[in-house]
Structure 1
Amino acid sequence: MQADQSESAARECALELEAHPYRIQQIRRIVSAQLRYWRLDPLIDAASTGISELLANVHRHAKPDKQCVVKLTLDADRLTVAVADHDTRLPHLQPVEPTATSGRGLTMVEAMSDSWGTDLLPDDGGKVVWFVLRTPTRVPAPTLVPLRTAVPFEQALPERVPVPASVA
């Protein structure tokens, strides 16, 4: 996660990860914490649901790898949530049978957001799938907390607690 001390960077959060199922819950927690910090509690459920759906799509469909970047950008009246991956195939809404057990992710994103879309990255670098949520009121700038150093996402996660051999 990169952080800068300028006001514009304080309104952006980016995480790089591999889209695996166990990571999705971690990202939801990080996104929820960031939105609470920005005083956007009313958007937590919609943003978390949308992120989950987009990351699940990366996990299921992206090729050649599952590497992706989640980026939150807060402007005065909207939150943009974007997921970029290396696959150049663009997702699209598709009709889903009422009894189908999957295939509703983008339909959910469309229903809960104010807008959504996809963009190809330059030089066949992949794509970005994004959605926008309107903020409930004009959001004040958060109080900046100086960061000594930025740490890579993997290092920011809590370490696993070893299980004693007698318990395992």
Structure 2
Amino acid sequence: MISHPSRHCTVELQALPSRIGQVRRIVSAQLRYWHLDSLIDRAALGVTELLTNVHLHARHDKTCTVELEVLLDRLTVSVRDHDPRLPVVDDADPLATCGRGLAMVAAMSESWGARPEGDSGKVVWFTLSAAVAASAPLTAAHPPRRAVEAAPARPFPEVEQVGLGRPQPAPARSAVAG
């Protein structure tokens, strides 16, 4: 039985550097909510690259829409903007400081593409497999962590301070990512 046949989230924004970071955090939170934590890094990287392309290359209107959709075992992340020009994957010069974003999206995703929406713009998208993430359900013994709580300190038995003869706890680390 399929408990969640489709899950959907939409965010509209101006593709400005400060907004891109906010959307990355929204994507991460939404994937945690859907218990798809294993997809967070790749989805956040991909959406960052697509939004950066809108910021750098879209003419005039930087307004865009980010959509996340989980359908059965696949997460699709798409960015819709108002510039009808389709992106092109270039072979970046080895010393270039930009020009590798779409190649990176292609390398880390199952599939990706772009489709025109007439004169009103385009949609650039990529997919990630959600099958592995969904097959490992969370149990009460391992509830999801909230992004703001610190990881508990845990002793490392192999680490001892000279003269004390007992393990020292690891420093607490924040679970909040950039």
Decide: shared fold, TM above 0.5: yes
Whichever residue aligns with residue 131 of structure 2, its letter is P
Q: Is the 8 A contact 1:66 1:85 kept in 2?
A: yes
Structure 2 residue 133 is matched with structure 1 residue 134: no
Structure 2 residue 76 is matched with structure 1 residue 77: no
Q: Is the 8 A contact 1:93 1:107 kept in 2?
A: yes
Whichever residue aligns with residue 127 of structure 2, its letter is V
Q: C-alpha separation between the residues in 2 aligned to 1:41 and 1:60?
A: 29
Q: C-alpha separation between the residues in 2 aligned to 1:46 and 1:36?
A: 13
Matches within 5 A, 1:1-168: 11-122=7-118, 124-137=119-132, 139=134
Q: Which has the larger radius of gyration?
A: 2
Deviations 1:58-111 (A, max 9, x none): 000001210000000101110000000000000011111111000000000000
* Higher share in helix: 1
Q: Secondary structure at the match of 1:14?
A: strand
TM-score normalised according to structure 1 size: 0.75
Q: Is the 8 A contact 2:39 2:133 kept in 1?
A: no
CA RMSD in angstroms, aligned pairs only: 1.8
Q: Is the 8 A contact 1:42 1:136 kept in 2?
A: no
Q: C-alpha separation between the residues in 1 aligned to 2:72 and 2:6?
A: 13
Whichever residue aligns with residue 79 of structure 1, its letter is L
* Higher share in strand: 2
How many residues in Structure 1 have an aligned counterpart in Structure 2? 133
For structure 2, list consecutive stretches of 5 or more residues without a partner in the other structure.
Answer: 136-178
Whichever residue aligns with residue 42 of structure 2, its letter is A
Moved over 6 A (4+): 7-10
Q: C-alpha separation between the residues in 1 aligned to 2:133 and 2:38?
A: 13
Q: Is the 8 A contact 2:76 2:128 kept in 1?
A: yes
